[in-house]
Chain A
């Protein structure tokens, strides 16, 4: 009865099984390649970053080019300033726009969603060009000798934030049960009161996540800052002056020909990565126990 225990396989059946195993292992290989790239980049950033990191990085400003030493105090402060100011510009607009899409379901909301995606897909350097033409050039005409500013940089970053925040706000709000909203309206509450006291509190965790993710995204942007906040070797918290930012310092350090600036760029990279990953990890844990997890 061996024929029952071990059915003989035709050549074609063997081919099918081998092809199955082969192709499935290829998909494993693809995954390993994708993860390999991540590990290569991350291990470099972590290894070189921690070896270049020291207290001076946080407490001193850059030295004049060519004389080793100095730190990134100005860039860290500049990045925090830019994120803060950009949030003041981008968050209200993004959240209000997301609320609008929930309040007016229908054809126009679909159009709005489409154009949000359009705005989201505009290359960030083009947004930098736009802010240069609209903000930096007029500033230079009004106040000669003053063109680039932290203000212009944060407008560019704020514009990048708007579509991201808008989409996540809309997605999170659409998860709040409609019955909750209807119950409030049926009790005679106004639309504003319903949104403010019922819907928004229910979706708070999700909205905070969207906000943090948007902040993490703009923290790493450098292209739109090149001709708006421009970079600055001095410590500056004045919104009307050119301001350094971590991504810009990493860029200028990397393309310079000095080794100590390369090391500084690597230290900047680990600081930036830590800022961004902390934000995205925090939101992940914040969301873990919430009902509104998205999908």
Chain B
């Protein structure tokens, strides 16, 4: 590691006179204990320690969440994950309704966001000329820079009343649609539908920019081969380019899912906050992150407190799992493409 070269111990030598009986001692390269040797030692250990902080933080977070939720783990055991009760008066807690609420809103968000963002990515990478591509790509990135709480503000003050009036009321008045299990209940605007829509808007830029990067990484020869066979632009996209990038696009979608699972403020503001999960999109609900945001501050009782930390632990594990798979897929695609080029 150390490259320091020690200065040979040569006495001051004016005019090249040889001092009899004096043999300058040469230390072996790389083992000299000079000042620069120590400087490099300190430097490498400091940057190494800074890197270790990453590992310490991840382990620390996992450990603290685990030990912080010990009270509730002892009390409820595995029932915590299957019980639908969330009752601080009777001291019964279970993560199930929030876990389902998180997965349910993320599911709808993905369903809506996937076609829009993959379509946008295809447009930006394959169709649009540069004078459209560059500013639009920049605008999409701007969308990602807007803070969650501002989406929540817009969702609560503008979107919620609008969807209650223009989407939910017409559906409720329709005789056929209102019988569907996902459209039961009275329209009120702050519900699972609002949460899913706000999540959709928030994850579009993430999925779009990762998929676009993946599409642009595909070698042009692949497209040219398809055109040479007489394929139209869309045939090239749908049968050659997208299948080639499939794993990477799935990875991008899962990164979006990871964002949706952990999203807190915007969802908390529009989801209606109810611990009873109902599969109807018109009913209020809760996600894991929104129950923590809403109730942790007022949870004074140790069991309540510890249950909320266990909700956090569950959220941590679920997002770790989804993100790990997503990173793996993106990584594998990138590797495949690089490997393919060299073969």
Report A's interface with B, CB cutoff 8 A. Answer: 16-17, 19-20, 23-24, 26-31, 33-35, 37-38, 40-42, 44-45, 92-93, 96-97, 99-101, 103, 112, 114-119, 121-127, 129-130, 132-134, 159, 162-163, 166, 185, 188, 190-193, 195, 216-217, 219-223, 226-227, 247, 250-251, 254-255, 262, 265-266, 269, 272-273, 276-277, 280
B234–A112 contact, CB under 8 A? no
B147–A221 contact, CB under 8 A? yes
A185 CB contacts on chain B under 8 angstroms: 3
> With A119-B58, A125-B264 in contact, is A28–B151 under 8 Å at CB?
no
B51–A112 contact, CB under 8 A? yes
> With A124-B264, A223-B264 in contact, is A103–B152 under 8 Å at CB?
no
A226–B232 contact, CB under 8 A? no
Q: A interface, by DSSP: helix, strand, loop or mixed?
A: helix
B208 CB contacts on chain A under 8 angstroms: 34
In Å, the complex CA distance between A92 and B235 comes to 50
> With A222-B148, A223-B148 in contact, is A134–B201 under 8 Å at CB?
no
B60 CB contacts on chain A under 8 angstroms: 130, 134
B149–A250 contact, CB under 8 A? yes
B55 CB contacts on chain A under 8 angstroms: 115
Question: For residue B5, which residue of chain A has the nearest CB?
Answer: A188
B127–A223 contact, CB under 8 A? no
In the assembled complex, the CB of B31 is this many whole angstroms from the nearest CB of chain A, namely: 15
Residues of B87-126 at the interface with A, using a CB-CB cut-off of 8 Å, are 115-120, 122-124, 126
Q: What 5 A-B pairs are tightest by C-beta distance, nearest first?
A: A220-B147, A30-B119, A123-B262, A96-B50, A192-B43
Most buried by B among A134, A222, A227: A222
A31 CB contacts on chain B under 8 angstroms: 119-120, 123-124, 128, 136
In Å, the complex CA distance between A251 and B267 comes to 12
B235 CB contacts on chain A under 8 angstroms: 16, 20
A123–B261 contact, CB under 8 A? yes
A41 CB contacts on chain B under 8 angstroms: 143, 146, 150-151, 154, 201
Question: For residue B232, which residue of chain A has the nearest CB?
Answer: A20
- For chain B, the bracket of interface size reads 35 or more
Q: When the two chains form the complex, which single residue of B57, B116, B205, B262 contacts A30, counting CB atoms closer than 8 Å?
A: B116
A251–B119 contact, CB under 8 A? no
* Interface status of B241 (Cβ within 8 A of chain A): no
B65–A126 contact, CB under 8 A? yes
In Å, the complex CA distance between A127 and B61 comes to 7
A133–B309 contact, CB under 8 A? yes
* Interface status of B145 (Cβ within 8 A of chain A): yes
A117–B68 contact, CB under 8 A? no
* Interface status of B17 (Cβ within 8 A of chain A): no
Q: When the two chains form the complex, which single residue of B51, B145, B237, B269 contacts A254, counting CB atoms closer than 8 Å?
A: B269
Question: For residue B123, which residue of chain A has the nearest CB?
Answer: A27
B48 CB contacts on chain A under 8 angstroms: 100
In the assembled complex, the CB of A100 is this many whole angstroms from the nearest CB of chain B, namely: 4
B53 CB contacts on chain A under 8 angstroms: 93, 97, 162
Q: When the two chains form the complex, which single residue of B39, B154, B289 contacts A125, counting CB atoms closer than 8 Å?
A: B289
A132 CB contacts on chain B under 8 angstroms: 296
Residues of B1-48 at the interface with A, using a CB-CB cut-off of 8 Å, are 2-5, 36, 39-40, 42-44, 46-48
